[in-house]
Amino acid sequence: MANPLRKLGFLTIGLFDEADPARGHESTLEVIELGERLGFDSAWLRHRHLQFGISSPVAVLAAATQRTSRIHLGTAVTPLGWENPLRLAEDLATVDILSGGRLNPGVSVGPPMRYDEVKGALYPDTADVEDFTYERVERLLRFVRGEPATGFSGTQGFEVFSDHVQPHSPGLGDRMWYGGASLRSAEWAGKHGMNFLTSSVVKADGESADFAEIQLSHVQAFRAQHPQGRVSQGLVVIPTDSATAAQKAKYAEYAAKRLPRTHEPQGPARMLFSPDHVGTSAELAERLHAHAAFAAIDEVAFALPFTFSHEDYVQILTDMAEHLGPALGWRPGTP
């Protein structure tokens, strides 16, 4: 039997129309505000570079800090191949200060997507020597946690210099998350004192092709290294309690189109996708309680489908907060 759900969050990509990007970004901020009013514990943004989704979640979350007061704000995830760890540490600390300690940065490593096509613009002089390993995360962690970034501090002329990132936000280092799909990543995150984000895709490292079984093994491997660490699960979950007939049909079609990729591991990396979960909150609660990995966690950041309308997100989030969350044992936070 699953534990009562302690923290309920959601994840969005923040799509926008190329001809009117302001409307899409405003919609994302309105969705975050709605999440706070409904009592959600967290709202997370995903990065999209050179696409029509939010390319700068940290900037959008800075705006969200001024329009919310309670809900935690996260990235799920920031691909560090696109980032300079020192500069990112400064941005994260700044937004955490603005939020009053509500930022939860999630990161991952590896070369940027479509690296051969983008490396000339991203790293024109260093593309072949950039380090996209876990060391890039370790650099970020050191800077966020207040370790020295240089060997100099003091006054030079009229200017005062610090040897570590400013502003420093105490507590942010404990709210760093690693988004991992493999057993190795789960273990690494635990060893380095991070929290662990597991999503709707995992790597089938062994013989098993059972998504829930593989995801559970990752949760267990992480906790073996970091028993006090937090784990959040990010499946695509779409409650239909108050949905119109047209919305229900749209949601069912969306899930059906994505179902074939869940039947077996995909590609050389053997990535295995979870089915999208669509149904009434009672149906979803029953399905989730039978999910081996869900039964082992007490935090979620359910992913909103990327191609739906603002009105669809309002319906989905409202049903999550008013029906699905309580069916999973969750109680809304105080606005």
DSSP 102-127: -EEEEEE-SSPTTHHHHHHHH-TTTT
Residues 6+ apart with CB under 8 A from 121: none
Query: How many Cα neighbours within 13 Å face the side chain of 49?
Result: 16
Model confidence, pTM = 0.96
- The residue among 23, 83, 90 whose CA lies nearest residue 49 is 83
Q: Contact at 8 Å (CB) between 99 and 109?
A: no
CA distance 148 to 154: 13
Token pair of 251 as six digits: 């949601």
Question: pLDDT by residue (tens digit) across 8-43?
Answer: 999 999 999 999 999 999 999 999 999 999 999 999
Can you list the domains of the chain with their CATH numbers? 7-147+164-327 (3.20.20.30)
Asked whether residue 2 carries a pLDDT value surpassing 90, the answer given is no
| Cβ–Cβ under 8 Å, residues 143 and 115 | no
Q: Which amino acid is at 189?
A: A
Q: For the chain, what is the mean pLDDT? A: 96
What per-residue confidence (pLDDT) applies to 334?
60
Contacts of residue 196, Cβ cutoff 8 Å, sequence gap at least 6: 177, 178, 180, 186, 189, 190, 218, 219, 222, 226, 229, 230, 231, 232
293 CB-contact burial (10 Å; exposed 0-12 / middle 13-18 / buried 19+): buried
> Would you say 123 and 130 are in contact if contact means Cβ atoms under 8 Å apart?
yes
pLDDT at 274 over 90: yes
Residue 205: the pLDDT is 85
Contact between 57 and 45 under an 8 Å Cβ cutoff? The reply is yes
- What are 134-151's pLDDT values in tens digits? 999 999 999 999 999 999
Question: Which pLDDT tens digit goes with each residue over 232-243?
Answer: 999 999 999 999
Position 330 pLDDT exceeds 60: yes
**Contact between residue 177 and residue 197 where contact means Cβ atoms under 8 Å apart:** yes
In the chain, the amino acid numbered 261 is: R
Cis peptide bond upstream of 129, omega within 30: no
Residue 311 makes CB contacts below 8 A (sequence gap 6+) with none
Q: What is the pLDDT of residue 208?
A: 81
pLDDT at residue 1 greater than cutoff 80: no
Length of the chain as a residue count: 335
Give pLDDT, residue 15: 93
Contacts of 260 (CB under 8 A, 6+ apart): none
Residue 335 has pLDDT above 80, yes or no: no
Query: Are the C-beta atoms of residues 150 and 204 closer than 8 Å to each other?
Result: no
Span 59-83, mean pLDDT? 98
Q: Any bridge partners for residue 300, and if so which?
A: 8, 233
